[in-house]
């Protein structure tokens, strides 16, 4: 049971195992700290990924998650804000990496308590607790708990705030998404700044559907992932506009520089390998501002 959770709220902790599967995949990339933290992960993972037989689809997934990770960094670099709040960060250590390189940054990294406990332990095991030059904090936060959200944002000094997230909105139903948008918008209206979300996923088409293991399909069904996605990119834009946001920018994927590329290339048919066409677009990362 999530001890930060108000009585009337849903328990989201069943979503948390997905963060572990993602980290194990990211362990094959050059995402900061992913290899080291993945090596510390204990026990089985939820999606039955076949690490002994890494095929084309395995590397396609790694490519997707690596590209999604960098897409947030790409847009973050366009803002010059020093206060950054990551929501539902899972086992990602983007914030620590930024704070290792920049003493001016205050980064608050949040997720549900169970994830934060494991992450704190990983940081200790890797002797990274004093690595940050900037101010790096781990805080438990259920993003739908408005009061807790405010307590976390109050930890920042005055000034604009950037909120970032990836891999969250597809676990929230429409009302929950609206509620989160309201909280984020209020925060941005008060402080200035922007919201960078990599979770602009339209429903899948035959072109963008990846094969899933049985357990992954069951996980997606249990959490209504497909229903929670947007009908289309236009519908996503309309949704955010209705919630009082404007899309300022979209990240541009840089497939050529992904660390996963050499692995993936080995599995690509020759005609695809030589093609200049990017892979099918399955999501977008947007920078939003409150209007």
Contact positions toward ligand SAM, by CB under 6 A? 12, 15-16, 18-19, 22, 88-90, 92, 111-112, 115, 141-144, 166-168, 171
In whole angstroms, the minimum distance from the beta carbon of 271 to ligand SAM comes to 32
Closer CB to ligand SAM, residue 59 or residue 267?
59
Closer CB to ligand SAM, residue 79 or residue 140?
140
Closer CB to ligand SAM, residue 18 or residue 285?
18
Contact assessment for residue 56 and residue 81, using Cβ atoms and an 8 Å cutoff: no
Closer CB to ligand SAM, residue 63 or residue 141?
141
In whole angstroms, the minimum distance from the beta carbon of 228 to ligand SAM comes to 11
Closer CB to ligand SAM, residue 32 or residue 90?
90
Phi-psi region of 163 (alpha: psi -120 to 50; beta: other; left: phi over 0): beta
In whole angstroms, the minimum distance from the beta carbon of 65 to ligand SAM comes to 7
In whole angstroms, the minimum distance from the beta carbon of 274 to ligand SAM comes to 31
274 contacts: CB under 8 Å, gap ≥ 6: none
Following DSSP, what letter does each residue of 32-58 receive, concatenated? TTHHHHHHH--S--TT---TTS--HHH
Rounded CA-CA distance 132/114 in Å is: 23
Rounded CA-CA distance 174/236 in Å is: 11
In whole angstroms, the minimum distance from the beta carbon of 103 to ligand SAM comes to 25
In whole angstroms, the minimum distance from the beta carbon of 55 to ligand SAM comes to 22
Closer CB to ligand SAM, residue 128 or residue 220?
220
Closer CB to ligand SAM, residue 115 or residue 200?
115
Q: How far is CA 142 from the centre of its chain?
A: 15
Phi, psi (degrees; rounded to nearest 5) at 230: -80, 155
Q: How far is CA 258 from the centre of its chain?
A: 17
Is 51 exposed, middle or buried (CB count within 10 Å of its CB: 0-12, 13-18, 19+)?
exposed
- Please give the sequence-ordered ranges of beta strands (E in DSSP) within the chain, or none if there are none: 83-87, 106-111, 135-140, 161-165, 193-200, 245-250, 284-290
Task: Give the residue closest to ligand SAM by C-beta.
Answer: 90
78 contacts: CB under 8 Å, gap ≥ 6: 249, 287
Rounded CA-CA distance 33/31 in Å is: 6
In whole angstroms, the minimum distance from the beta carbon of 142 to ligand SAM comes to 4
* Residue with the two structure tokens 């010059």: 80
């Amino acid at each position: 049971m999530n001890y930060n959770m108000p009585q009337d709220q849903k328990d989201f902790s069943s979503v948390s195992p997905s963060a572990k599967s993602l980290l194990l995949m990211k362990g094959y990339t050059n995402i900061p700290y992913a290899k080291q933290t993945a090596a510390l992960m204990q026990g089985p993972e939820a999606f039955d990924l076949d690490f002994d037989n890494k095929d084309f689809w395995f590397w396609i997934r790694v490519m997707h998650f690596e590209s999604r990770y960098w897409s947030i960094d790409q847009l973050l670099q366009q803002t010059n804000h020093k206060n950054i709040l990551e929501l539902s960060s899972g086992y990602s250590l983007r914030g620590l990496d930024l704070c290792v390189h920049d003493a001016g940054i205050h980064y608050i990294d949040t997720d549900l308590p169970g994830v934060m406990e494991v992450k704190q332990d990983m940081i200790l095991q890797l002797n990274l607790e004093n690595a940050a030059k900037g101010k790096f904090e781990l805080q438990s936060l259920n993003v739908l708990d408005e009061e807790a959200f405010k307590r976390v944002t109050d930890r920042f000094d005055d000034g604009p705030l950037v909120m970032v997230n990836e891999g969250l909105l597809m676990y929230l139903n429409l009302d929950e998404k609206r509620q989160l948008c309201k909280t984020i918008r209020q925060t941005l209206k008060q402080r200035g700044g922007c919201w960078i979300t990599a979770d602009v996923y339209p429903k899948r088409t035959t072109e963008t559907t990846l094969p899933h293991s049985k357990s992954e399909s069951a996980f997606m069904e249990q959490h209504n992932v497909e229903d929670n996605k947007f009908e289309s990119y236009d519908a996503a834009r309309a949704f955010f506009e209705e919630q009082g946001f404007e899309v300022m920018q979209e990240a541009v994927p840089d497939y050529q520089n992904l660390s996963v590329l050499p692995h993936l290339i080995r599995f690509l048919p020759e005609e695809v390998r030589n093609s200049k066409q990017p892979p099918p677009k399955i999501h977008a990362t947007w920078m939003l501002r409150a209007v």
